[in-house]
Amino acid sequence: MTSPEISSNSRPWRAGALLALLVTGLDQTSKWWIVTSVMVAERHIEVTSFFNIVMVWNRGITFGLFGDSPATTRWVLTGVAVIIVGILAVWMWQVSQRWVAYSLGAIIGGAVGNIIDRIYYGAVADFLDFHLFQWHWPAFNLADTAIVLGVAYLVLDAFIVVKE
């Protein structure tokens, strides 16, 4: 499998930037709807036998790590995320492969969505809750999904995709 190259005249970063805006918009819209309508009275909504909607405020990072840290951690995590977004944006500006730009755009859009939450709420709003038998995945949101999918493609591109 080869990673698709594009001509030097096109601008893959634009596609990545558009995806970043779309991801941020969908993430923030979904969180706004959950926080202001669905979970006004926080509860557990069983949608299927393996999926619930819940309201979890993640003050830390992945899986709630550093969630019990001092309030200043919010700003440290926000600052680190902003720096990472800047680095990824520079990388996206320089790539020549559209799918790499899409991946970076998904990661950037997800990170920006979670940055907005940290600034506005002081924590990241997580509400998607999947479980199967005794296995229970921590709650997450659309931003987290975009980040994971973007990283997954970059890993595949780095290790599996044959370079010309």
Active-site annotation, residues: 126, 144
Q: What is the DSSP string of the chain?
A: -BPPP--TTS-HHHHHHHHHHHHHHHHHHHHHHIIIIITSS---EE-SSSEEEEEEEE-SSGGGTTTTS-TTHHHHHHHHHHHHHHHHHHHHHH---HHHHHHHHHHHHHHHHHHHHHHHTSSEEEEEEEEETTEEPPPB-HHHHHHHHHHHHHHHHHHTSBP-
